[in-house]
Every structure is written in C-alpha cells, then in structure tokens.
C-alpha cells in the first residue's frame, strides 16, 4: 500500500503557502495509522519518500506495476476541482500546487489498458471534493466485473472533508475486525466491500455527532445497487477458514444452490446426523423402508398414478429425511457424491432421473419459487429445442414463463417430476399453492408430476382437490410396531458410531437404552401416557435425536441394563420438556435462553449477529446494557451451536436460526403481545439515525431492510413503517406486499396512502435494483397525488418528478411545443383523442371530445403526432388507422381530416417547402408529402418494401434531407430535391422504431433504436456506424429524443420495461435511468428542461439534478429538421 501524506510545507514564517488552506500537520500521523491498520491485513507499505519526491511518478509506477496484485493508495491532504467544465479532481502537493495528473488520470492508467496487467487498486481519498473521482460517468458505467480501480471518498464532489474523519473511521472499522469485535462468516474470503463501506460511513457519522461538526458524506465508486462486490480482494477476512469437509461441495453441486436446490439441506436431512452434530456422510437414516420403497417406485415409473403425492406429518416425523434420501439417489448431480447415504439401501431408493426439478421451499416467496422452477425446467428443456418465439418469452423467470415453457413441450416427451420440500415453511404457501402448484396439477396432466412434503396445513388443501387422483403419505399414521423398529435402528446407529456406548462393556446398556427410547416414542411400552397437545409434539425421529445427543453429552452413563432402560423410558414426549431437559446440561445460562428465544422469531434464512445483539433482552446487571458482542460470539460458537442452523447473508455476515421450524414454532406460541412489541422496538431502535432523528435505512443490515415489516406486523406496528417513505424504498416487495392485505391495525391517512402507492407500484414487479424501486415508487406517488411520499423519496434521487397525471386513455404518441414562451406537451391516446398539457404545472389545457354520431367511425389509436405552424396558426396533426387529422391545440377540437389519405400512419414530421408547411407521412416503402394548407398530396418517394416507422429531417451540405427508419432495419437518407435515396444504411438486427438527428462533433449523425433495445449512432456523411450504446437490458425502445445538455448532445430513450434512459452520445455511456410502473410509449423534451414521458398510466414530466442537487437544464430540444 502507498500512504500519500500531503501536509503543506510552511514558509519561513510558519504560515501555510495558501492562506485559505490549513497546513494539515496531522496528515502524516493519520496516514501512518491507516498503514498500521492495513498491515494487519497483510499489506506491505511502500517505503516512505522524501517530501520532494515525484509523487505522481510514484503513483504511476505502482498502478502499472506487473508484480503487484492488489494495491491501496491512501491520500491525506487537500483536493481541488479544476476550473471550467471538466471539474476534475486534483491532489495538491506540499507546495499547494496541483499535481500534473488529476485523480481520474490515475484511474485511466489502470482502466484504459484492459489487455495489460494492472493491480486491482483502491484509492482512499481523504481530501475535499474527493467524490468527484467516485462518480466519473465513464467509470461508473463500466461493467463491474471488469473494473480494476475503485474509490472510497471522504466527501461529495462539491463538499469539504474535515478532521481526517475518513482515515480515522477506516482505522476504527479495520481494528474492530482485527480484534474480533466484528466478524464476517468464516466461509467468506474477503470482507464484502459494501459491508465495509457502510461501516465506515456509519463511523464517520458517529464522529460528526461526537464533534458536533459539519456533516460529511462518504462516497464510493458508483455501481448498480444489485452489484455483487463480495469478491473484491481489498480486505481479507481475518476469520476466514477453509471450508469444513462437511461443507465443501464440488463446484457442479455448489452451483445447484443458485437454482434453489439447496443440496446441503437434502444431504443433511438424509444423513440424519444434525441432532448429534455429526457429518452427514455417516448416514444414520434408517427405517421408513416401506415408505421409501413406495415413493421410489413412483419416481421410477413416470407413467404411474397418481401424479400428485403429498408427504405429511408433524415436525420431526422424517418428511425431509425421506425426501432427502430420494433426492440424493435420484438427482444425477448428487447421486455419486452422496453414495455413502444410500448405498446400503440401494434396493429401496430410486434410480437416477434426468427430468427432476428439486426445491427446498423454506422461506421462499412466490416470485422466488417461480424463478427457481423456471430456471430448473429451462435447464431440462434447452431453449434451442423450443420455437424461437417461445424461447424469447422465457427470459423472465416468472410463473407465466414457466407455464409458457411447459406449453411448448411436446406431449410425447417424458414428464417432468417436481419435488418440493417444506412447502409449509415458505413465505406464502397459500399463494404458491393456488397460483403456481394448483395450475400445474390442473393444466399439465401427463406433463408434470408433483411430490410435495408439508406439515398438515389448511393453506395447501386446495392441492388435494386439484385432481381426483392423489395420494397422501401421512407419517403420523405409521403402525407403532413398525415405527418402533425403525426408531430402534436409528438410535442404535447414533449410539454405536461414537461416544460412551461404543466400548463392549457398554453395548448391552446402549441396546437397552435404544430399545426403551424407541418403545416409548412409538408408544409400544407399558408406560402410562400423558396427553400432549398436538402443537407441543415433535416427530419421533427428531425427538430421539435430541435425546440421544443429551445422553451422549451428559457426564453419567450407567452400564446397568435396568438403569439404561429407566433412562430410555424417561425420554420427554413434549417439546417444552425436551428443551428444558437439554438446556439443563448448560447449567444457569439465561443468556442462552434469551438468544434462543430471539432466534425463534428470526425471519428468512436467519438473524445476523449484530441484530441479535440488539434484541437479546438478557442483562445480568439489570442496568440496560447490551450483551457484549464477543460474549455473544462465544455463546453462538459453543453452547448454542446444537440448536442453530447457519447460512450467509449478502453482506457476508452469518445468519442464525433454530435448526428446526417445529422448535421455532413452539417458542413463538409462548410469546405475549408485549414480547412481540419489545422485539420490534428493539429492532427499529437499532437503525442509525441522522441529526433530524430520521432512520438511515441505507446503513441498516439487509435483514432489517427485508424483514422488519413482518416484525412490525406481528407487533401491530406496521403503520409506523408504512408512514416512513424512506423505508419503503428499501422494503422487499415480496415481503411487504404479502402483509398489506392482512393489516388488522388502523392506518393513518398517510400510511394508507403510502400503502396504496406501494401496492400499485409493485403489483406486477417485485425484483429490481434499489434505485429503480425508489424511482418507481416516487412516480406512482406523484401519479396518485401523494406529495409527502414523493418528496421524501426524491431527497435521495437525482431525478425529480415535476408532475405525473393520468390521461383520459393510455397515451400512445407525444410531442412538445412552445407557444408564446410557454412550454406545452400534447398526447395522442389509444382511443383517438388528443390532450394538451402545461409543462410547468401538469394541468390539462385542452382535451378533445369523443366523436359522436352514427356516421362517425370508431376512434382508432393515434400512432404518430406532430405540431405545426401553418399560416401563423399552430395545429396538432395526428395519424393512425383512420387517416390524418388536424386539431386546435387551444381547445382540442378536431379541425378537419386530411382527404385522400386512407392508409395507416406510424410516423410523421413536417418540413418547409417553398415557404409552405408540408407534412411527411411514413408509409409502405417510403413516405408521402402533403401540403397542409392546400390539404392535398404533392409527392411520394418509395424505394423498398417495408413500413417506415420513424422519420426525421435535416440538412446535409446545405440540401434538405429526410431520414427514414423502416421495420426491416434499414435507415435511408433521402435527397428531397433529387427525389432519391442518397445513402442506404443497414445494421439493425430488428426494425427501427425511433429515430432522431443531431450533430456529434462536426459530423451529422442519426440516432436510432428498435426492438433489440440498442441505441445506434450512424455517421450520415459516411454511412458508417459510429457507436453502439447498450446497458445490456435488451428491451424494446418505444421512444427517442435528442437533447443538448450543457456542452454535448444526449439521447433520451423510453423502453418497454418502463425505463427511461439518458445517454451521453459523446462517450456512449448510459448516464442514468428512471423507472416507471408501466411500459413507456413515447418520450420528448421541452424547452424548459423537462423530459416528458408517456406510459399506460398517463404522462409525467421528469427533471434531472446533479449530485449536489442543482437542476440540469437541457435547454431547447435539438431540431430534427
């Protein structure tokens, strides 16, 4: 690592060389402290240089070094932005003069040479205006996977940095990890960058509060909010350990996790070793021979009825063990690797099945289930084997795409068997059953077979009515004698493998213990029964495993058969007795009970350590202090280990939950409303707040962002979150949408309005990046008149929704015009009406009335629209299937219909010919020319057999030219005076849907877009493609406009997905996007800087701000003629 300490050299009077700058005498100290902290992460500091060193050459030599893999450059000093339009960030040397290269130049040394080795480099810039280097547009748009330069900045692009806060905060955070006060899951090799950035930002905020100082915002390199930065190698995890042999999986099996197969779940359950904390490979599963054989035969015979089987039983009855054994033997990816589990039972397990789809449903939402099923079915049915239209429709991982895929399968193909374990533990079993599994059983008989494991649950009863033929395998109805025999084998295997009953002198006692446990749990002994409510019962196999673990870890083991028998008969039959007995071995451990109680309420895959520390109510001092984290860590790693299942969250932290849902359910039933309220309040209070006491949700853990609504609903406090607009941007739609229909608590006016906006915004889409979620919700709030929610969301947005209103019908065409200095927009709708809007206020200035009368043809969709100045009067001209019409923009009244035009119109524009306004109308093979004042056609130019869907006008070399885009992908430049094609351009894969013309440098360019979602730049002088612009979203472009932002041309595109994208045509980068609820139908720009967008919901006026909050005014739209 390189520590660049840049204090200013004082003059002979001891003064700063620049009176406006502090000398920063403390810079060397803080640079040294950061270097010391980084040494704990195995960094070697580059030797210190003299104050007269050529710092710039030193930086260049390091960032281009061929023998350095990872580099950190830490700068403590002064930063300054260049004057003028570039505003590049420069570091000041010790003489207060700028270094020769801006920081962006350092980044370019790395990124401009993709074929040369460069170290993966992190620039930590503790200087003023450092954020400018973090938000460089070209760098922000690079593919995250190819970036090698990253920035951690002390302040925003226009902000000051104070008191070495970034350096101090970084040292504090790194030392917490080195001391073990913070930890990342040991399976994660590096501290995820986003996790560390958030902790540094939170610590800077704490320093600001301690000093009562000027606020300061930490910025990092801009990346999409969904980008995975976990592999960035800057900060090795001090707690990393190579995978435990039990946890290690071959890559081909580990990849199954991405498809929601969860191979470890099925291996562990099939192994039966979890209750005694042993390796799943030892294979303790036993019994259920008849059940296993029965299901194996069903799997092997794909024509066997019924095509729906349900395995049910109480928690711990062995449902997952049974399903796990079937999956391990039948799934080709697992069979060989899991041979130790099923080899001894080869006569009762199925053969391999290459038409198998497997899902572990625990805590899966509906959309997650749909995506997982679609992805796995797609793996079995390659896209190449499907018709192209069907293959194209399967890009979305949804229930609809799953059904579409199945529709395209041939009836003669072998059926697909879907196995779903723990359906009752999914987030929404009722919706999954009714909207996904039930249709599968109804529509695809002979094509799909279902095997589902679930506890008895009324929410899945609809499955059992789906067909006349279904089979239920209820493990609770097993004959006691058969159950006793199975339990006996299981317990004997557990006792004989390891522990105090393995010596020969203890074998008889061990056998007696096993026989007594099995007889008691199977109810074949002569002991009197105590009636236990069903909800307090655990399955016999889970109970036996927990009890055996208790016996193995106890200190007293009698070799006397009678004593062993009495001990076996003492096995608890109820869950409370079982847990109480097991907790006894830990002595007086109130903290253990508190932790387990809190984890019973964990949502999803589990609760992280930092959240758990905030909600554990144990406090031996009675003074309200939180449990020290390291005390909690020791408990989780030792005494609590038996009770826990672990997984890893997206931020690299370990998630904990109770190892079996049945245990968690029992603990939850014993909670009072006060307990639920205290839990929620503790969770909510753990979120850091700003100086105005507003929660900083971006610093909250992923767990709280996802699952706090469920805790709030349990406590009757969901209204608090619904009132918080900032939180709603971070909420997981798959969680919150499920809760909204079932809210029982009274909602205030704002909470109810916010809930309605949220429900509308995410009714059709739940999976999208954070920034898009915020924009979508803000647009929906604006459309519904929910100003408080809109303003709250826009505090953290570069976009603003000036206004959004519903049109009388879905708009299909759009244009902007200016009259008497006032900007207006005009829309045409699918019902053939026009509406005129004040761009400043969003007020509807004029609306056309619906045509009436028996002779009036039904109105048709307006597909093309323009505004013309004809003989000193403004007129709106529209086109569609019912010809061309003109309208009065002041009243919206239909003026007249253009006689003689009977064809369909998809594109039109205007041009001045012989000082008269003429209309150009796209048609089949070319375009026609109409004199609007004379109301007659004056010409037609035709060259090819394709529909012209886009038109633009321009001048090339002083001659009027018409540029056309057709549905065959061709772009043609017509010399209007000569009446012929001057240039023919091809290159679009699909049809051209939108077109505009602009100057780029000294050359005239056409900007085009179409169905493939790519924006093309064509040099009209040479006919060559200058640039291809894509953000890899690939959705159809429905509208395009060109606009000049200060200094350079930009394009605005509107997409089928609802996105509006802003492109810098000079650099070819997508500068930003804005997400609307429904597909964009048209875009335009107004003279006052608004970007106008129409969609099925209506019309919206958007404006764009800089990071400092200043509005970006694009000025007048670039003329297209």
pLDDT tens readout for residues 1004-1017: 999 999 877 889 99
Check whether 109 has a pLDDT greater than 90. Answer: yes
648 within a domain of the structure (yes/no): no
3 state SS of 953: strand
341 token code pair = 């589990």
* pLDDT for residue 753: 95
User: pLDDT-derived band of residue 535, with 50, 70 and 90 as boundaries?
Assistant: very low
Domain co-membership, 469 together with 496: no
518 within a domain of the structure (yes/no): yes
The predicted model gives 866-885 an average pLDDT of 83
* pLDDT for residue 397: 47
437 CA to centre of own chain: 25
Check whether 86 has a pLDDT greater than 70. Answer: no
CB 917 within 8 A of CB 908: no
* pLDDT for residue 274: 73
* CA–CA distance, 1058 with 771 (Å, rounded to integer): 14
Domain co-membership, 368 together with 515: no
CB 889 within 8 A of CB 912: no
The predicted model gives 207-212 an average pLDDT of 90
**876, containing H or E segment:** strand 873-880
DSSP codes, 125-154: EESTTTHHHH--HHHHTS-GGG--EEEEES
The predicted model gives 822-843 an average pLDDT of 93
Domain co-membership, 938 together with 1025: yes
Q: Which residues of 63-77 are buried (b: 16+ CB within 10 A; e: fewer)?
A: beeeebebbbbbbbb
CB 728 within 8 A of CB 786: no
Give pLDDT tens digits for 472-487: 888 888 888 888 988 8
Q: Which residues of 1085-1117 are buried (b: 16+ CB within 10 A; e: fewer)?
A: bbbbbbbbbbbbbbbbbbbbeebeeeebebebb
Domain co-membership, 578 together with 470: no
Domain boundary at 435, 461, 477, which? 477
Q: Which residues of 792-803 are buried (b: 16+ CB within 10 A; e: fewer)?
A: bbbeebbbbbbb
* pLDDT for residue 228: 79
* CA–CA distance, 1031 with 157 (Å, rounded to integer): 25
- The CATH number of whichever domain residue 28 belongs to comes to 3.40.50.1460
Domain co-membership, 199 together with 286: no
The predicted model gives 1061-1069 an average pLDDT of 83
User: pLDDT-derived band of residue 193, with 50, 70 and 90 as boundaries?
Assistant: very high
Distances in Å between the Cα of 361 and the Cα atoms of 433, 649, 667 are 12, 17, 22
The predicted model gives 641-656 an average pLDDT of 87
- The CATH number of whichever domain residue 937 belongs to comes to 2.130.10.10
932 within a domain of the structure (yes/no): yes
338 token code pair = 């899991």
- Range scoring the smallest mean pLDDT among 306-310, 462-466, 528-532: 528-532
The model's pTM is 0.79
**868, containing H or E segment:** strand 862-870
Higher pLDDT, 140 or 885: 885
The predicted model gives 484-501 an average pLDDT of 87
Check whether 367 has a pLDDT greater than 90. Answer: no
* pLDDT for residue 49: 60
Give pLDDT tens digits for 33-70: 999 999 999 999 987 666 667 888 889 999 999 999 99
* pLDDT for residue 388: 41
Check whether 385 has a pLDDT greater than 50. Answer: no
Check whether 1115 has a pLDDT greater than 60. Answer: no
- Range scoring the smallest mean pLDDT among 114-128, 144-158, 372-386, 735-749: 372-386
The average confidence (pLDDT) of the chain is 85
Backbone angles phi, psi at 697, to 5 degrees: -65, -25
H-assigned helices in 286-386: 289-300, 319-330, 332-335, 339-342, 366-380
Domain co-membership, 783 together with 833: no
Domain boundary at 529, 559, 584, which? 584
Closest CA to 135 of 89, 76, 182, 77: 89
Burial of 688 (0-12, 13-18, 19+ CB in 10 A): middle
* pLDDT for residue 757: 95
* CA–CA distance, 486 with 285 (Å, rounded to integer): 9
Q: Please, what sign has the CA dihedral across residues 180, 185, 186, 190?
A: negative
pLDDT over 90 percentage in the chain: 40
Domain co-membership, 500 together with 409: no
* pLDDT for residue 872: 66
CB 1119 within 8 A of CB 1041: no
* CA–CA distance, 130 with 152 (Å, rounded to integer): 8
Check whether 305 has a pLDDT greater than 60. Answer: yes
User: Taking the chain, what is the end-to-end CA distance rounded to the nearest angstrom?
Assistant: 56
953 token code pair = 């006008």
H-assigned helices in 690-843: 702-714, 718-722, 725-730, 733-739, 749-761, 770-783, 787-794
Closest CA to 471 of 305, 313, 250: 305
Centre a 10 Å sphere on the Cβ of residue 214 and count the other Cβ atoms it contains.
11
595 within a domain of the structure (yes/no): no
* pLDDT for residue 697: 94
Domain co-membership, 420 together with 520: no
Give pLDDT tens digits for 714-725: 999 999 999 999
438 CA to centre of own chain: 28
* pLDDT for residue 391: 39
Question: Is there a cis peptide before residue 768, judged by omega within 30 degrees of 0?
Answer: no
The predicted model gives 372-401 an average pLDDT of 61
DSSP 415: P
Residue span of the structural domain in which 103 resides:
2-220
DSSP 238: T
The predicted model gives 523-530 an average pLDDT of 63
Check whether 494 has a pLDDT greater than 90. Answer: no
Domain co-membership, 462 together with 508: no
Distances in Å between the Cα of 930 and the Cα atoms of 919, 996, 1037 are 5, 21, 28
Centre a 10 Å sphere on the Cβ of residue 791 and count the other Cβ atoms it contains.
15
* CA–CA distance, 371 with 943 (Å, rounded to integer): 47
The predicted model gives 793-800 an average pLDDT of 90
Give pLDDT tens digits for 576-627: 777 777 777 666 677 888 898 899 999 988 999 999 998 886 555 445 567 8
233 within a domain of the structure (yes/no): no
* CA–CA distance, 867 with 885 (Å, rounded to integer): 12
User: pLDDT-derived band of residue 222, with 50, 70 and 90 as boundaries?
Assistant: confident
- The CATH number of whichever domain residue 436 belongs to comes to 3.40.50.300
* pLDDT for residue 382: 57
> Bridge partners of 397?
none
Cβ-Cβ contacts under 8 Å for 497 (sequence gap 6 or more) = 278, 282, 284
* pLDDT for residue 251: 80
CB 377 within 8 A of CB 371: no
629 within a domain of the structure (yes/no): no
Distances in Å between the Cα of 970 and the Cα atoms of 437, 762, 991 are 46, 38, 8
Helices 590-600 and 629-637 pack at an angle, to 10 degrees, of: 80
Domain co-membership, 22 together with 84: yes
H-assigned helices in 638-697: 661-669, 673-685
Give pLDDT tens digits for 504-521: 899 999 999 999 999 988
* pLDDT for residue 265: 87
The length of the chain in residues reads 1121
Check whether 1119 has a pLDDT greater than 50. Answer: no
User: pLDDT-derived band of residue 557, with 50, 70 and 90 as boundaries?
Assistant: confident
Most confidently predicted of 187-191, 547-551, 1012-1016, 1026-1030: 187-191
Structural domains of the chain, count: 5
The residue written with tokens 């370019």 in the block is: 108
Check whether 987 has a pLDDT greater than 90. Answer: no
Check whether 525 has a pLDDT greater than 70. Answer: no
* pLDDT for residue 1100: 95
107 within a domain of the structure (yes/no): yes
Q: In the Cβ-directed half-sphere of 337, how many Cα atoms lie within 13 Å?
A: 21
Domain co-membership, 86 together with 127: yes
* pLDDT for residue 395: 39
Check whether 297 has a pLDDT greater than 90. Answer: yes
* pLDDT for residue 384: 43
* CA–CA distance, 772 with 770 (Å, rounded to integer): 5
Domain boundary at 456, 477, 498, which? 477
> Bridge partners of 994?
1009
684 within a domain of the structure (yes/no): yes
Give pLDDT tens digits for 901-919: 877 888 999 888 888 888 9
> Bridge partners of 1084?
1092
Closest CA to 179 of 247, 238, 253: 238
3 state SS of 1059: strand
Domain co-membership, 747 together with 885: no
User: pLDDT-derived band of residue 393, with 50, 70 and 90 as boundaries?
Assistant: very low
Between CA 895 and CA 901, with CA 898 as vertex, the angle to 5 degrees is: 155
Between CA 603 and CA 609, with CA 607 as vertex, the angle to 5 degrees is: 170
DSSP 98: B
Q: What is the dihedral of CA 231, 232, 238, 241, to 10 degrees?
A: 20
* pLDDT for residue 556: 81
């Amino acid at each position: 690592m390189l520590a660049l300490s840049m204090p200013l050299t004082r003059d002979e009077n001891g003064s700063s060389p620049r009176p406006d700058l502090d000398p920063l005498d403390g810079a060397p100290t803080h640079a040294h402290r950061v270097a010391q902290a980084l040494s704990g992460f195995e960094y070697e500091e580059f030797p210190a240089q003299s104050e007269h060193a050529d710092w710039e050459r030193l930086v260049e030599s390091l960032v281009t070094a061929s023998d350095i893999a990872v580099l950190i450059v830490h700068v403590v000093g002064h930063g300054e932005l260049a004057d003028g339009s570039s505003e590049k960030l420069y570091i000041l040397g010790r003489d207060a003069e700028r270094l020769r290269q801006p920081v962006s130049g350092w980044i370019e040394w790395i990124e401009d040479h993709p074929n040369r080795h460069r170290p993966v480099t992190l620039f930590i810039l503790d200087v003023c205006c450092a954020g400018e280097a973090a938000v460089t547009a070209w760098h922000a748009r690079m593919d995250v996977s190819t970036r090698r330069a990253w920035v951690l900045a002390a302040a925003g692009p226009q902000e000051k940095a104070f008191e070495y806060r970034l350096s101090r905060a970084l040292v504090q955070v790194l030392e917490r990890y080195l001391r073990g006060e913070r930890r990342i899951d040991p399976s994660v090799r590096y501290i995820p960058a986003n996790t560390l950035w958030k902790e540094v930002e939170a610590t800077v905020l704490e320093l600001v509060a301690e000093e009562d100082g000027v606020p300061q915002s930490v910025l990092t390199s801009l990346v999409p909010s969904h980008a995975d930065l976990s592999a960035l190698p800057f900060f090795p995890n001090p707690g990393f350990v190579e995978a435990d042999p039990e946890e290690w999986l071959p890559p081909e099996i580990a990849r199954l996790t991405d498809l929601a197969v969860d191979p470890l779940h099925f291996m562990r359950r099939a192994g039966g070793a979890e209750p005694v904390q042993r390796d799943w490979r030892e294979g303790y599963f036993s019994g259920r021979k008849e059940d296993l054989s029965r299901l194996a035969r069903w799997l092997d015979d794909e024509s066997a009825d019924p095509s729906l089987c349900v395995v049910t039983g109480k928690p711990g009855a062995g449902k997952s063990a049974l399903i796990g054994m079937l999956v391990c033997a039948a799934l080709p990816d697992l069979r060989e690797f899991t041979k130790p589990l099923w080899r001894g039972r080869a006569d009762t397990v199925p053969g391999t099945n290459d038409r198998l789809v497997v899902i572990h449903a625990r805590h899966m939402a509906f959309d997650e289930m749909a995506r997982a099923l679609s992805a796995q079915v797609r793996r079995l049915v390659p896209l190449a084997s499907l018709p192209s239209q069907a293959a194209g429709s399967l890009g979305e991982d949804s229930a609809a795409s799953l059904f579409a895929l199945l529709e395209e399968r041939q009836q003669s193909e072998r059926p697909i068997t879907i196995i779903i374990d723990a359906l009752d533990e999914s987030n929404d079993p009722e919706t999954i059953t009714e909207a996904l599994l039930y249709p599968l059983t109804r529509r695809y008989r002979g094509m799909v077979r279902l095997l589902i494991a679930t506890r008895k649950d009324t929410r899945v009863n609809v499955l059992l009515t789906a067909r006349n033929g279904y089979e239920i395998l209820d493990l609770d109805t097993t004959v006691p004698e058969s159950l006793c025999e199975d339990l006996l084998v299981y317990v004997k295997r557990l006792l004989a493998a390891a522990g105090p009953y393995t010596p020969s002198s203890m074998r008889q006692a061990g056998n007696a213990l096993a026989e007594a446990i099995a007889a008691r749990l199977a109810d074949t002994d002569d002991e009197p029964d105590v009636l236990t409510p069903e909800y307090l019962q655990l399955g016999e196999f889970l109970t036996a495993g927990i009890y055996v673990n208790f016996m193995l870890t106890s200190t007293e083991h009698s070799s006397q058969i009678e004593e062993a028998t009495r001990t076996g008969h003492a096995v608890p039959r109820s869950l409370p007795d079982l847990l109480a007995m097991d907790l006894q071995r830990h002595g007086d451990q109130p903290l253990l009970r508190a932790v387990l109680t809190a984890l019973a309420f964990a949502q999803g895959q589990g609760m992280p350590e930092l959240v758990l520390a905030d909600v554990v109510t144990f406090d031996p001092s009675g003074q309200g202090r939180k449990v020290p984290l390291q005390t909690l860590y020791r408990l989780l790693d030792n005494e609590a280990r038996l009770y826990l299942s672990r997984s890893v969250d997206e931020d690299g932290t370990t998630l904990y939950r109770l190892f079996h849902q049945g245990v968690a359910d029992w603990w939850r039933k014993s909670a009072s409303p006060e307990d639920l309220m205290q839990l929620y309040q503790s969770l909510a209070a753990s979120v850091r707040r700003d100086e105005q006491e507003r929660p900083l949700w971006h610093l909250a853990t992923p767990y709280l962002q996802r699952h706090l609504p469920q805790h709030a609903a349990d406590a009757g406090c969901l209204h608090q979150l619904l009132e918080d607009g900032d939180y709603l941007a971070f909420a997981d739609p798959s969680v919150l949408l499920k809760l909204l229909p079932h809210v029982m608590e009274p909602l205030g006016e704002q909470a109810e309005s916010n809930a309605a906006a949220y429900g509308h915004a995410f009714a059709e889409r739940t999976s999208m990046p954070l920034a898009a979620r915020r924009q979508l919700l803000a647009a929906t709030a604006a459309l519904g008149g929910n100003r408080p929610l809109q303003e709250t969301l826009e505090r953290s947005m570069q976009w603003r929704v000036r206004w959004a209103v519903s049109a009388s019908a879905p708009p299909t065409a759009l244009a902007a015009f200016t009259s008497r200095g006032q900007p207006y927009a005009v829309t045409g709708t699918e019902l053939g009406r026009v509406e005129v809007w004040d761009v400043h206020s969003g007020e509807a200035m004029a609306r056309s009335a619906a045509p009436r009368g028996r002779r009036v043809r039904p109105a048709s969709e307006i597909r093309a629209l323009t505004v013309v100045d004809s003989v000193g009067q403004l007129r709106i001209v529209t086109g569609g299937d019912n010809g061309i019409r003109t309208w009065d923009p002041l009243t919206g009244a239909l003026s007249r219909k253009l006689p003689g035009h009977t064809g369909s119109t998809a594109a039109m524009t205007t041009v001045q010919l012989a000082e008269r306004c003429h209309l150009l109308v796209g048609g089949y093979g070319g375009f026609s020319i109409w004199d609007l004042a004379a109301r007659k056609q004056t010409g037609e130019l035709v060259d090819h057999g394709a529909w012209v869907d886009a038109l633009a006008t321009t001048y090339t070399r002083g001659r009027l030219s018409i540029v056309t885009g057709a549905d065959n992908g061709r772009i043609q430049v017509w010399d209007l005076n000569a009446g012929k094609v001057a240039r023919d351009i091809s290159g679009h894969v699909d049809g051209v849907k939108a077109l505009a013309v602009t100057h780029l440098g000294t050359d005239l360019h056409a900007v085009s877009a179409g169905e493939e979602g790519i924006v093309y730049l064509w040099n009209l002088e040479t006919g060559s493609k200058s640039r291809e612009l894509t953000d890899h979203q690939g959705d159809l472009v429905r509208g395009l406009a060109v606009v000049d932002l200060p200094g350079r041309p930009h394009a605005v595109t509107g997409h089928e997905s609802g996105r509006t994208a802003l492109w810098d045509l000079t650099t070819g980068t997508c500068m930003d996007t804005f997400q609307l609820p429904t597909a964009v139908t048209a875009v335009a720009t107004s003279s006052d800087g608004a970007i106008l967008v129409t969609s099925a919901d209506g019309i919206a006026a958007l404006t764009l701000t800089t990071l400092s909050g200043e509005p970006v005014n694009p000025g007048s739209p670039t003329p297209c003629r």
